[in-house]
A and B are shown apart, each in its own frame.
Chain A
Amino acid sequence: QQQVKQSPQSLIVQKGGISIINCAYENTAFDYFPWYQQFPGKGPALLIAIRPDVSEKKEGRFTISFNKSAKQFSLHIMDSQPGDSATYFCAASKETSGSRLTFGEGTQLTVNP
C-alpha cells in the first residue's frame, strides 16, 4: 500500500513557468515532509522540507504548501529553469520512527528552454 501518493508522474513546463507537484499522505502520525531532487545517476538530495505546524515554507524559487486537514502537500517551483529538470520525490516520516522516510512515486520534470 502506497502511503504517500504523488502526481503527476511526469511534467513538462517552459522556462520561466511554474512547476507544481502534488502529494497526498494517509498516516496522520507523519510529522516531517521533505522534497528530494534527483539527477540522473545520482542519489536523492534534500531540496526543502516542512513540518505540519506551518502551512507554507519558501526557499528561493521553491515553495512547499501544506494542508493538514486535507493531508496534502505540494511543491511549487517558480521561474522554472532547464537546470531544474530532474526527478522530484515527496516523502514523509515520523521523527520518532528513526527518520525512516516513506516516498512518493516520483515526478519526472522537464523544463524546456
Chain B
Amino acid sequence: NAGVTQTPKFRVLKTGQSMTLLCAQDMNHEYMYWYRQDPGMGLRLIHYSVGEGTTAKGEVPDGYNVSRLKKQNFLLGLESAAPSQTSVYFCASSSWTGANTIYFGEGSWLTVV
C-alpha cells in the first residue's frame, strides 16, 4: 500500500539551479497539495490541484510552479532555487469528500546552498 510517494527524498541544490519534485498517489484522489514545513511555522500550502489539468496558488506560491498532467501525479518545480527555499516539502492528496481523507507523503528534504 504505497499511498502518497515523493521523490527524491533528499536533494542539495546550488542557488539558481532548477529541479522538480514528483508526487504520486495511488488512491484515485481528486485533490493534491504541496506544502512546505519550516521550523516554528507549521506547514504552509504552496500550490494545490482539484483535478487533472488544474492548479491553483496556495499561501506561499512565489518561486514555485506546478503541473498535474495526470490524475495520479503532481509535480512541484523550482525554476531558480534560492536559499529561502531550503525546507521540507510534503505532498498530500485527498478525495473530494473532505479533509478527513487527506494523506501525506513522507517528505522531501531540500537544501539550497
Of A101, A105, A106, which contacts B99 at CB under 8 A?
A: A101
Q: Are A9 and B40 in contact (CB under 8 A)?
A: yes
B31: interface (CB < 8 Å): yes
> Does any Cβ of B come within 8 Å of A44's Cβ?
yes
CB distance from A36 to the nearest CB of B (A): 8
**Size band of the B side of the interface?**
20 to 34
Beta-carbon contacts under 8 Å, A1-32 to B: 4, 6, 9, 32
Among residues 86 to 113 in chain A, which have CB atoms less than 8 Å away from a CB atom of chain B? Answer: 89, 93, 95, 98-106
Task: Provide the bound-state CA to CA distance between A110 and B109, in Å.
Answer: 24
Other-chain residue from A6, A45, A102, A104 in contact with B104 (beta carbon distance below 8 A): A45
**Contact pick for A41, options B42, B48, B107, CB 8 Å:** B107
Residue of A nearest to B39 (CB): A106
Q: Name the contact of B50 in the complex, choosing from A98, A101, A102, A106 (C-beta under 8 A).
A: A98
Do the beta carbons of A46 and B42 come within 8 Å of each other? Answer: no
Chain B residues, CB < 8 A from A105: 40-42
Note all chain B residues with C-beta closer than 8 A to A93: 99
Whole-angstrom distance from the CB of B45 to the nearest CB of chain A? 6
Q: Which residues of B contact A95 (CB under 8 A)?
A: 98-99
Residue of A at shortest CB range from B59? A102
Of chain B, the residue at the smallest CB distance from A105 is: B42
Q: Which residues of B contact A89 (CB under 8 A)?
A: 42-43
**For the complex, what is the distance from the CA of A9 to the CA of B92, rounded to whole Å?**
24
Q: A4 to B90: give the CA distance in the assembly, Å.
A: 19
At the interface, yes or no: A49 with Cβ under 8 Å from chain B?
yes
Chain B residues positioned under 8 Å from A102 (CB to CB) = 45, 59
Chain B neighbourhood of A32, CB < 8 A: 98-100
Q: Contacts of A41 on B, CB cut-off 8 Å?
A: 106-107
B107–A46 touching, CB < 8 Å: no
Interface pairs (5), CB distance under 8 Å:
A34-B99, A34-B100, A99-B98, A100-B33, A102-B45
Q: Given A9-B40, A99-B94, A103-B43, 6 more contacts at CB 8 Å?
A: A6-B42, A43-B90, A44-B43, A46-B100, A99-B31, A101-B102
